[in-house]
Amino acid sequence: MSMRLIDEAPSSRRHPAKRAAAEFDLSLSENPFPPLPSVLHAVHSELARSNRYPEFYPQRLPALIARHVGVDPDQVVVGSGATGVALQIIQSLTTPGSELVVGSPTFDGYPIMADMAGLNLVPVPLDRTGEQDLRAMRRAIEKRTSLIVVCRPHNPTGTVVPAGELKTFLASVPSRVPVVLDEAYVEFLAEADRLDNAALLRRHPNLLILRTFSKAYGLAGLRIGYVYGGRELIGRVRRLQLPFGMSACATAAVGASYAAAPELRLRIHRITTARENLRNSLRSCGIDVPRSHANFLYLPGPGVATALRRAGISAKCYPDGSARVAVGDPTADLAVLAALATLR
C-alpha cells in the first residue's frame, strides 16, 4: 500500500473480531488519519539513526517551535505530550497542599496530576452552555491557589471562551498565580477565534500557553508537547527537563509537519466538515449537541453513553450519561449517528 493510500484512509481503532467489546474507539479524541506522508518519510529516515542518542537537552525542537509561534527558543519547553509538559509545570510551579483551579468537567489528566503532586483540585462547574465560567473561576482564587487552567477550546465540550472574556479574566488574576492556557485543539479553531498570544504574553507574565502535536498533527504516539511563555516561568519549568527526553524522531516529525502546512489545513478542513455534518444530523434527531471547535463532539445525556456502548462504540463517558466522541472517520461517524438516531 502506498503512502498516499495510507494518508487517505482513516485509522480509527476498530476491533472487528471483538464486536461485543468496541468496534470503534472514539474515546481519546485522536486524529483518525495517520501522519502525513512527508512526516512518515522524515520519521522513517530518522529511525535509521536510532542507535544514536538524541540531544542531551533538546535544542533543535524548541528552536523549530519558537520560530513557528514567534518567540525565542528560551521561551519554549518541550516534553512528552501536553500531559508530560503539564506535569512539569505542576511540579515546578506548585507546592503540595496548594490548589489547582479548573473548569469541571475537564481533561482527565488534570485531576490525576493534581493528585500526584499533592494538590487540592478546585473544580468549578461549567455554565449552562457548557463553557468555562471564568467569573466563578476568578471567585475560586484564594491565597492557596497556585495554578489555574483554562482550556480553549474546552475539553470535553469543545466550546470556546470569547477573547474579550479571557482578557478580562487574565487581567483580574493576581500576578502571583500562573495561568495555563491549554490550547491542545487550537489548530481546529476558525481564524476569527484565534488569539493574539504574543500580545497576551506581553501583558501577562504569569501566562503559559500549552500545546500538543497529538491532535491536529496526528502524532499522538510520538508524545510531543510544548509550553511557551515568559522567561521567568519557562525557566522554572525547564529545570525539570529530562536529559535525552525527546527523540530525534520527534524533531524530524515537527519539522516535516510545519513544512506540510497546506496538507495539514486540508486534513483539518476534512475533519471539521465531518464534525459539522455529524452535529447537524444529531441535532435533527433531537440531540442538543453544543457547537464544537475541536475534533470531537460532546453528546449530552442521559442515555447517550449507554446507547454508544451497546452499539460497540467506545466513547469518553461522564456520570450523567453524556459522552464525548472523536470525529472524522466517515464509517465511525455513521455508526455514532445510527446508535443515537432513535434515542430522543
pLDDT averaged over every residue in the chain = 93
- pTM comes to 0.92
Got the DSSP string for 208-250? EEEEESSSTT--GGG--EEEEE-HHHHHHHHTTPPTT-S-HHH
Spans of all domains in the chain: 3-36+261-340, 42-259
Radius of gyration of the chain (CA): 20
The residue among 185, 130, 179 whose CA lies nearest residue 153 is: 185
| Cell numbers placing 173 | 488574576
At 148, which amino acid appears?
I
Angle made by CA atoms 246, 264, 245, in degrees to the nearest 5: 5
Bridge partners of 227, per DSSP, are 77, 210
Residues of the chain short of pLDDT 70, as ranges, are: 1-22, 344
Cα–Cα distance measured from residue 198 to residue 211, given in angstroms and rounded to the nearest whole number: 15
Residue matched to cell numbers 507574565: 205
Residue 45 C-alpha cell reads as 529516515
E strand or H helix that includes residue 122: strand 120-125
Pairing relationship of beta strands 323-326 and 99-104 according to DSSP bridges: unpaired
Residue 130 is predicted with a pLDDT of 87
Lookup result for grid cell 475539553: 155
**How far, in Å, are 88, 162, 190, 283, 323 from residue 133 at the CA level?**
26, 11, 22, 25, 21
Alpha carbons within 13 A on the beta-carbon side of 297: 29
Taking the C-alpha atoms of residue 98 and residue 118, their distance in angstroms, rounded to an integer, is 8
Number of H helices, E strands in the chain: 13, 12
Residue 11, pLDDT score: 60
CATH of domain 42-259: 3.40.640.10
- Cα 340 to Cα 129: distance, rounded to the nearest angstrom: 21
Residue 157 C-beta-side C-alpha neighbours within 13 Å: 25
d(CA 46, CA 342) in angstroms, rounded, equals 50
What's the CATH fold of domain 3-36+261-340?
Aspartate Aminotransferase, domain 1 (3.90.1150)
pLDDT in tens, 292-318: 999 999 999 889 999 999 999 999 999
Residue 221: is it exposed, middle or buried by C-beta count within 10 angstroms (0-12/13-18/19+)?
Answer: exposed
Q: In Å, what is the CA distance from 230 to each residue of 2, 110, 145, 191?
A: 44, 22, 20, 24
Closest Cα partner for 325 from 186, 287, 75? 287
